[in-house]
Amino acid sequence: MKKIIPLILLMVTASNIFANGGPIDGCAVYRTADIILINMPDIKLIKEDLKINIVGDYSFVDVTYVIQNNSYTDSKITYGFPIDYIRTDLQYEFEWQKEYLPEIEFYLDAKKLKIKHQVDYSIFEEKADTNDEQMLEMRRSWYIVDFNIPKGKSIILKVKYKIKNGFEDWATTKSFFPTFDDRRFIYDFKPAQNWDDGIIDELNVQINVKDIITKGGNVNISGLSFSESLGVYFASFKKYDLKTSPNLTIFYQNTEKLSDYLSKYRIKNDKIKAVTVSSSLSSSYSSKNLFDFDFNTAWVEGSERDGIGEKIEIELDKYPLAAICLINGYTKNADVYLSNNRIKKLKIDIEYIDYEDSTKLITESNEVLFNKLEYNEISKNNFGNIITIVGDYGDGYSKITKITLTILDVYKGTKYSDTCISELLLLGFE
């Protein structure tokens, strides 16, 4: 009997929230890899087709191997897919979390294989691949299948899985806005170098990052040379030497996370007592458009000037506001956006109840300068990319009673002199 234990290595950690700041979400997946074959010179890896589709925080991986048994006897193979996960202050209980690998399937010549799952509860240490050389405590979770390759035959082994990519998002009490980490996916080809002479006849790689790009995220792919078309990267090699192969590394931004976060913490309209504007172009462009969460509508001021000096006054029911954001301009489409004015400079006055004397009101003022942003198609999945932060008050301001926004300067439109705001976002944890 010949036994093969292939190795696919990842590192996974859980998430939590600290009282004064810390990770709010995360997964320290380190890498996934090709299968290992140890001392099996008669078993050859003929071809590998690797397809990776990145959506949100997850990678959907579909790998197809063509494996040939050149020996004179049948070979029984044990294939193990391990995930290494680490102990942290967030996950001191050190239990395996299914969310890190929610889906995994194995197929042999299109027949689904039975998977055995087991956790190795022994703890081992490994040096982190960082500059601080931190030692990490780890455990290993295994997904195992058994199958046979008849002598002189080739088989097709397919592995499909959904895995959470590595990242760690942080929040502090000093800012309402978390820091959203770049997501990381690493694929290591070297573990398969012991298949025969370590040279694979054909290697094909396809990476689909359309979901990330269409939502405004940046993607950085390194390790192999790719051609690209419409968000899909392609690479193909003949007689590829796995022994010298670099890792395939993908870093990207999941911009949807900020949009989701903003949507979650928008205060309900019943917390807003009243909204008064100095003017509106017509009833179709009234102040109600500021809080309708519809990027195809806008408040449009109705003055005869460029909108300088126009005001928006918002009364709140003593709400502990955490942040104020604004979507500048009329974002219905590119033509409307560029044709109309956008705010260049804004004054914000905040009236709130004094911490020490609840009968006393305090007013603080600030001015905000807006960047001149190009138009990008906007949706509820990516609107976080184009917000301007007007105020950031951390865990929450003292109870706010009134907000006054005054337009001080504008970027002029190509056709109209009307200044527009598509959305005001008042944010808080209550």
- Is residue 230 a part of any domain in this protein? yes
**Count of the separate structural domains present in the chain:** 2
CATH number, domain with residue 35: 2.60.40.3680
CA angle 268, 269, 274 (to 5 degrees): 145
User: For the purposes of burial, counting CB atoms within 10 Å of the CB of 85, is it exposed (0-12), middle (13-18) or buried (19 or more)?
Assistant: buried
12 has pLDDT over 50: no
Of the residues 211, 237, 254, which one is the last residue of a structural domain? Answer: 254
CB of 361 within 8 A of CB of 353? yes
* 150 and 199 part of one domain: yes
What confidence tens digit (pLDDT) does each residue in 86-137 have? 765 555 566 777 888 999 999 999 999 999 988 877 877 777 655 556 787 7
pLDDT the model gives residue 17? 30
Most confident segment among 268-272, 275-279, 304-308 = 275-279
Please give the Cα distance from 325 to 424 (Å, whole number).
Answer: 6
Q: Is the pTM above the cut of 0.85?
A: no
* 215 and 294 part of one domain: no
* 335 and 206 part of one domain: no
343 has pLDDT over 70: yes
Please give the Cα distance from 410 to 416 (Å, whole number).
Answer: 12
What confidence tens digit (pLDDT) does each residue in 33-74 have? 665 544 455 788 899 999 999 999 999 999 999 999 888 888
Please give the Cα distance from 175 to 392 (Å, whole number).
Answer: 6
- Is residue 1 a part of any domain in this protein? no
Query: DSSP assignment, residue 377?
Result: -
pLDDT the model gives residue 75? 83
DSSP code string of 52-100: EEEETTEEEEEEEEEEEE-SSS-EEEEEEEEEEEE--STTTT----GGG
Range 388-394 average pLDDT: 91
Domain membership of residue 209 as a residue range: 11-254
Please give the Cα distance from 16 to 168 (Å, whole number).
Answer: 10
CATH number, domain with residue 298: 2.60.120.260
CB of 155 within 8 A of CB of 109? yes
* 55 and 196 part of one domain: yes
Pairing of strands 199-208, 232-241: antiparallel
Range 262-268 average pLDDT: 93
- Is residue 34 a part of any domain in this protein? yes
